[in-house]
Amino acid sequence: MTALYGAIEAGGTKFVCMVGAGPEDVRAETRFPTTSPERTLRQAIEFLRAEQDRQGPLAAVGIASFGPVDLRPDSPTYGYITSTPKAGWSNVSMAGAAAAALGVPVGFDTDVNAAALAEQRWGAGRGLHSFVYMTIGTGIGGGGLLDGRVLHGLVHPEMGHMRLPHDVAADPFAGICPFHGDCLEGLASGPAMNARWRQPAEDLPDDHPAWPLEAGYLALAVSNLVCTLSPQRIVIGGGVMSKAFLFPMIRQKVADLLNNYVRAPEIVDDIDDFIVAPGLGERAGAFGGFALAADALQASPPERDAV
Amino acid sequence: MTALYGAIEAGGTKFVCMVGAGPEDVRAETRFPTTSPERTLRQAIEFLRAEQDRQGPLAAVGIASFGPVDLRPDSPTYGYITSTPKAGWSNVSMAGAAAAALGVPVGFDTDVNAAALAEQRWGAGRGLHSFVYMTIGTGIGGGGLLDGRVLHGLVHPEMGHMRLPHDVAADPFAGICPFHGDCLEGLASGPAMNARWRQPAEDLPDDHPAWPLEAGYLALAVSNLVCTLSPQRIVIGGGVMSKAFLFPMIRQKVADLLNNYVRAPEIVDDIDDFIVAPGLGERAGAFGGFALAADALQASPPERDAV
């Protein structure tokens, strides 16, 4: 019998919840705005419980969460959102709450690591062992796998907060990151574009100077990721990337920046296949919940047979 | 009986070769300048053979090499230096040459990955699963481990070539990297300092403005590594770092740059222990050869018993 999983993509703006056996077999799906932690988590759990009554027992649940989150298995706050600027959501138990309410193994990771895992399993990263997923939207984040292992380390990456060359003569915009001003997210997220150009990014015409500037910052980020993580492919998703003409611009600028120094054929000969759009679209995060759930089930100690 | 290993640190300027059971038991050591590949590799192999005659058979050899190198096990040029600006050294087989001459398993990696491995096993990274080693000298390089695996990915990281904010009003120096101009290595390597200040870096007085500038670039690099790799500790070695007063300057600037966004206690409360000097000094690379040799022996198929 196919195992059924619950998947929760816990975003700062909305939650997406699914029940199914995986991306090819989604049996139920809902989305609702992120309000207070109590109310939003209750909604998620009620959805999963109701579907469980309808579809049969869930084998595990996976939560792809906004962050920063605590991913250290031995930490007393494992599975918590730790210190987020989002009001009310600091120090909130996510994984523990779901495990207590549902009594099944719960997988937990950042939304971007989960999306990376989903893309690697079912989307644009299939067959790759080292792989980065970035999202350029309300914020900028990145996750990935190296040598088959999801990127954790001390905490988890915060790729949106790397510092990049910022030519203040050409772009005097100071950046909007409350922590860092002109880090990548401060310069190139959707809200940063809106603030710089005083209009929503999606309304800017295709020939607006905003776009080469945006592609330039994203290319600098990609080239730094090549220099630090050496991924086999970089997938870039998120609302801003719905302007598909950004991809060739970014690829050209990355090639210029690396200047044939990293001579891997994947980059030098085939950059169209090195920097790509997501294979799973905007459902990568929620699908990542299925991947986390399946991994949590596999990692959980086997149940003893009933005597 | 303790296994004896050969270790070769193949540097662009000099080779360091050792025979021993590990860092605590070095039985012989030599160093010689890097000339042509044929001559330099012959010297290394002759040293190992002579010591083998004296000390008994080597169980394996490890080579910590300058690069870029080919680390893909299934590549026809695995174990080669690929495309280096160093004259005569492009497309040179390192691992294969040693294996053919000595008939033992040969481990092969970048000098900085090998140094990271040695520091993690015997030095400043003991007990850590995610760890970065940087060297600031003639060039700038970085290696490391994530979740216990050495950083490889598509090729291997080239941390010295990341792009950083460069305030040309404060520092009009254009950078000396032949590929990238003002990348990290172009701005902050020893030769970059020499070129900017028209005197050897080691002669600059401790209160020279060169040092806060240098610490600033290194802090930007460290903060970007925190955002992309999330290591548990960053070890910084190399000739430039012999000015120990750089460490507190870098730590303070990293704390300012991250601005409490990454709230791990290791960074927020204990940055003195997060950014540290190597435990193995300038022998980390050659000791890394021992680590690579031991790993190659462990990975090699067991010999059949003689009948």
Residue A118 falls inside a structural domain: no
Shared domain for A272 and A185, answered yes or no, is: yes
Nearest to A151 among B179, B230, B257 (CB): B230
Three-point CA angle A297, A302, A307, nearest 5°: 135
Report d(CA A68, CA A84) in Å as an integer.
Answer: 6
Report d(CA B254, CA B219) in Å as an integer.
Answer: 5
Identify the helix (H) or strand (E) that includes residue A248.
Answer: helix A246-258
Shared domain for A64 and A21, answered yes or no, is: yes
Contact (Cβ atoms closer than 8 angstroms) between residue B222 and residue B159: no
Report d(CA B41, CA B89) in Å as an integer.
Answer: 11
Nearest to A147 among B149, B259, B263 (CB): B149
Domain that holds residue A60: 5-111+283-299
Over range A140-158, report the average pLDDT: 95
Shared domain for B42 and B182, answered yes or no, is: no
Report d(CA B233, CA B277) in Å as an integer.
Answer: 11
Shared domain for B107 and B145, answered yes or no, is: no
Chain B residues with CB-CB distance to A186 below 8 A: none
Q: State yes or no: pLDDT of A86 exceeds 90.
A: no
Shared domain for A61 and A153, answered yes or no, is: no
Report d(CA A216, CA A249) in Å as an integer.
Answer: 8
Question: Tokens at residue A202, please?
Answer: 């999606």
Q: Do B224 and A146 touch (CB under 8 A)?
A: no
Over range A198-220, report the average pLDDT: 97
What per-residue confidence (pLDDT) applies to A303? 61
Within 10 Å of residue A162's Cβ, how many Cβ atoms?
Answer: 28
Residue A64 falls inside a structural domain: yes
Residue B146 falls inside a structural domain: yes
Contact (Cβ atoms closer than 8 angstroms) between residue A284 and residue A112: no
Report d(CA A247, CA A45) in Å as an integer.
Answer: 38
Q: How many domains does chain B have?
A: 2
Contact (Cβ atoms closer than 8 angstroms) between residue B45 and residue B99: no
Residue A306 falls inside a structural domain: no
Pairing of strands B92-93, A60-65: unpaired
Q: Which of B152, B236, B257, B128 is nearest to B188 (CA)?
A: B236
Shared domain for B145 and B247, answered yes or no, is: yes
Chain B residues with CB-CB distance to A165 below 8 A: 163-166
Pick the residue from chain B with its C-alpha nearest to A227. Answer: B158
Q: Which residues pair with A144 in a beta bridge?
A: A132
Residue B118 falls inside a structural domain: no
CA A17 to chain B, closest CA, distance in angstroms equals 28
Chain B residues with CB-CB distance to A146 below 8 A: 146-147, 149, 151, 153
What per-residue confidence (pLDDT) applies to A307? 42
Report d(CA A217, CA A222) in Å as an integer.
Answer: 9
Chain A residues with CB-CB distance to B146 below 8 A: 146-147, 149, 151, 153
Nearest to B151 among A146, A156, A232 (CB): A146
At A301, the pLDDT band (50, 70, 90 cuts) reads: confident
Chain B residues with CB-CB distance to A73 below 8 A: none
Beta-carbon contacts of residue A307 (< 8 Å; ≥ 6 apart): none
Residue B119 falls inside a structural domain: no
At A306, the pLDDT band (50, 70, 90 cuts) reads: very low
Contact (Cβ atoms closer than 8 angstroms) between residue B271 and residue B251: yes
Q: Name residues of chain B where pLDDT drops below 50.
A: 305-307
| Residue of higher predicted confidence among B302 and A145 | A145
Shared domain for A43 and A93, answered yes or no, is: yes
Q: SS3 of B234, please?
A: strand
Shared domain for B51 and B146, answered yes or no, is: no
Report d(CA A126, CA A123) in Å as an integer.
Answer: 6
Place of tokens 């990290």: B184
Residue B81 falls inside a structural domain: yes
Percent of chain A at pLDDT > 70 equals 98
At A304, the pLDDT band (50, 70, 90 cuts) reads: low
Residue B117 falls inside a structural domain: no
ipTM over 0.90: yes
Mean pLDDT of all residues belonging to chain A: 95
pLDDT in tens, A49-84: 999 999 999 999 999 999 899 999 889 999 999 988
Contact (Cβ atoms closer than 8 angstroms) between residue A79 and residue A65: no
Shared domain for B90 and B165, answered yes or no, is: no
Best probe of the B interface among A156, A261, A267, A275, by most B CBs < 10 A, is: A261
Over range A128-152, report the average pLDDT: 96
Shared domain for B183 and B287, answered yes or no, is: no
Q: Do B151 and A260 touch (CB under 8 A)?
A: no
Burial of A224 (C-beta count, 10 Å sphere; 0-12/13-18/19+): buried
Tell me the DSSP string of A90-145: TTEESHHHHHHHH-S-EEEEEHHHHHHHHHHHHSTTTT-SSEEEEEESSSEEEEEE
Report d(CA B10, CA B38) in Å as an integer.
Answer: 13
pLDDT in tens, B245-287: 999 999 999 999 999 998 899 999 999 999 999 999 989 999 9
Shared domain for B242 and B141, answered yes or no, is: yes
CA A96 to chain B, closest CA, distance in angstroms equals 20
Shared domain for B101 and B136, answered yes or no, is: no
What per-residue confidence (pLDDT) applies to B86? 86
Q: Do A149 and B146 touch (CB under 8 A)?
A: yes
CATH for A59:
3.30.420.40
Strand order in the sheet with B14-22: B25-33, B14-22, B5-10, B60-65, B106-110
Pick the residue from chain A with its C-alpha nearest to B177. Answer: A261
At A1, the pLDDT band (50, 70, 90 cuts) reads: low
Pick the residue from chain B with its C-alpha nearest to A131. Answer: B153
Chain B residues with CB-CB distance to A157 below 8 A: 227-230
Q: Do A229 and B151 touch (CB under 8 A)?
A: yes
Beta-carbon contacts of residue B244 (< 8 Å; ≥ 6 apart): B277
What per-residue confidence (pLDDT) applies to B307? 42
Report d(CA A112, CA B56) in Å as an integer.
Answer: 53
Amino acid at the residue B241: M
Amino acid at the residue A207: D
DSSP structural state of residue B21: E
Report d(CA B24, CA B108) in Å as an integer.
Answer: 21
Pairing of strands B80-81, B92-93: antiparallel
Chain B residues with CB-CB distance to A152 below 8 A: 130, 147, 230
Beta-carbon contacts of residue B63 (< 8 Å; ≥ 6 apart): B8, B10, B79, B94, B95, B98, B106, B107, B108, B109, B289, B292
